Structure 1
Amino acid sequence: MNLKCIIIDDEPNAVSLLEVLIAQTTQWQLLGKCYNALEAIDFLKKHTVDFIFLDINMPHLTGMELAGLLPKETKIVFTTAYAEHAAESYAFQTIDYLLKPITLKRFLAATQKIEAAFGRQVIMEKTEGKPDDDYFFVKSGKTLRKILLDEVLYFEGEKEYVRLVTGTEELLIYRRLKEIETQLPQPFIRVHNSYIVNTKRLNKIQDNHIYIGDKQIPVSDKFREGFMEMIRQRIF
């Protein structure tokens, strides 16, 4: 995937390492290297990038402070030697949070997350404006039951079948969760190997869990980025 990025970091060795990793493992265009926040602000006024690698601990203006000055839609991969800023970083359009020293294995995992994030964005742009079907049918014995999408709270995978939960009933569907996932429109999203949720019906998000009514549903590492990307679009 041909993406455009820049590196913002006051440590020359860290910049050089990222530059080598980008060159050797991706097809991305590294448009620039900035060694402080003011230099980065000036660069971004003149150039358009898809995302930025942003160090957190920089003098005068930290990476978090700089992120707060950038357009809300700016996608960021934070880089830092400190883990304690991870939760704070997700107030922004954060794709990943890389701890220094960055290893090749961890960088390759980050490239997959980055390209997956932009792949989802392309799909969303292609489907934007298309009307979604507001119902579907579920086979129950010899009957096809009509289910309104807005009434569905979540789907829970249980081995060979899926439990469909609404505000008033539960139904078993003898299909795999992955098959159902491919047929669902937004605002449904996979948050765990065992759960697809209707984001219209969630009440709150707290400590890597979401709450729909009285149900607490975990958000796994595998699906957290895609889920938070959707949620960030509605954070005021």
Structure 2
Amino acid sequence: MNLSCIIIDDEPNAVKLLEMMVGQYTKWALLAKCYDALEAMAFLKEQKADFIFLDINMPQLTGMELAGLLSKDTKIVFTTAYSQYAAESYTFQTIDYLLKPITLERFLAAQLKIEAYFSKNQASEKIPPAVGNEYFFVKSGKELRKILLDDIQYFEGQKEYVRLVTSTEQLLIYRRIKDIDEQLSPPFVRVHNSYIVNTRQLNKIMDNHIYIAGKQIPISEKFKDAFMGVIQQRIF
């Protein structure tokens, strides 16, 4: 796919590695190599790129600070040696988060992800319809309990059953969390092997954790991208 990009990184060796990978393994046009945030800002005022490779730990302005100053439609692939910024990075228009040293295997995986992102049909990126008053029934003892989807905060897998949590009650469902996940769609998103959350109910995201009504829920690497993809659609 023919895309354009720039590299923003104060480490010459990191720039050379990315430049080599882009040149040898993609059809992307590398428009510029910027060694600090101010140079990158000056370039982006004059020319637009489809996406940027952005280092986080840089002098003058960090990558996170620069990302906050860029246009909201600037697509970003973060490149960093620090994993702790992963969740925060997805508050921007982030496509991927590459940990240094970047291996060829990881770069090629990112290439597929980047090109898939730009290949998506525009309609598929629209915000999912509201859940509204949709509901389903949960078997609890001898009863079938009607639960509004909007009332659910999260599902928690616990061995052979799943715990459904709302603001007023908790119910045990004797099913696998995988089976429940297959029946649900956004705003319900799997964030961990043990958790499905209702994104309408979450209060904040910080340090790779979600907070819902005082409950801290971890975001695992396996499910992070899909979860943050849903969150991105609600970021102003």
TM range (shorter): 0.7 to 0.9
For normalisation by structure 2, the TM-score amounts to 0.73
Question: 1:90-105, aligned counterparts within 5 Å?
Answer: 92-105=92-105
The residue type paired with residue 200 of structure 1 is: R
Once the two structures are TM-superposed, the CA of residue 52 in structure 1 deviates from its matched residue by 0.9
**2:31, 2:55 → 1: CA distance?**
14
Structure 2 equivalent of residue 32 of structure 1: 31
1:181 aligns with 2:193: no
**Aligned residue in 2 for 1:157:** 157
Which one is further off, 37-46 or 169-178?
37-46
Aligned-partner Cα distance in 1 for 2:4–2:211: 37
1:32-87 alpha-carbon deviations (Å, 9 max, x no partner): 1233445544543455444210234556655444323211232222234x538836
Indicate whether 1:5 and 2:5 are aligned: yes
By how many angstroms is 1:166 displaced?
1.7
1:54 aligns with 54
Judging changes above 3 Å, is the alpha-carbon distance between structure 1 residues 180 and 121 closer, same or farther for their aligned structure 2 residues?
Answer: farther
**Which is further off, 99-108 or 56-65?**
56-65
- Structure-2 change in CA distance of 1:122 and 1:142 (3 Å): farther
% identical equivalent positions = 66
- TM-fit CA distance, 1:3: 4.9
Equivalent pair of 2:84/2:208 in contact (CA under 8 Å) = no
Distance 1:71 1:198, change over 3 A: same
Give the whole-Å Cα distance in 2 for the aligned partners of 1:229 and 1:130. Answer: 16
Q: Which has the higher contact order (CA 8 A, sep 6+)?
A: 2
Structure 2: how far apart are the matches of 1:31 and 1:68? 23
2:82 matched residue in structure 1: 83
CA 33–124 in structure 1, closer or farther in 2 if over 3 Å, else same: same
Name the Cα RMSD after superposition.
3.8
Structure 2: unaligned runs, 5 residues or longer:
none
Gaps of 5+ in 1: none
Relative to structure 1, is the Cα distance of residues 72 and 6 closer, same or farther in structure 2, using a 3 angstrom cutoff?
Answer: same
Mapped partners of 2:188, 2:172: distance in 1: 18
Deviation at 1:4, TM superposition (A): 4.1
Which residue in 2 is equivalent to 1:168? 168
**Cα distance in structure 2, aligned partners of 1:202 and 1:22:** 38
